[in-house]
Amino acid sequence: MAVAVKKLDVSLGDVVEIDGRRYDVVSDKASGVALEPAITQTVAQIHAEHGGQALSSEEFEHAFGHLPSDGEG
């Protein structure tokens, strides 16, 4: 049985989907690329899974405002 080779035009950091499953394109030890199961999720997906929601600016400041800041945002 012959296997058809499919060429992909992908770069490091891309996400590809094969048969409904997502994979991250990562570097391998031989300076090439490899596919690994995607662990990338949006914040909305994480909140949906855990029943949470984003903090407002005021809630964030109340919870974390006492911590040192690098001044970048």
Report if pTM > 0.85: no
Question: How far, in Å, CA of 4 to CA of 1, rounded?
Answer: 10
Bridge-partner residues for 33, per DSSP? Answer: 27
Split into its structural domains, the chain has a count of 1
What pLDDT is recorded for position 25?
92
Domain that holds residue 36: 15-64
72, part of any domain: no
70, part of any domain: no
What pLDDT is recorded for position 65?
87
What pLDDT is recorded for position 55?
86
Helix (H, G, I), strand (E, B) or coil at 60: helix
Low-confidence ranges of the chain (pLDDT < 50): none
Question: How far, in Å, CA of 15 to CA of 23, rounded?
Answer: 5
Do residues 36 and 23 touch, judged by C-beta distance below 8 A?
yes
What pLDDT is recorded for position 73?
62
What pLDDT is recorded for position 58?
93
Do residues 36 and 27 touch, judged by C-beta distance below 8 A?
no
What pLDDT is recorded for position 49?
87
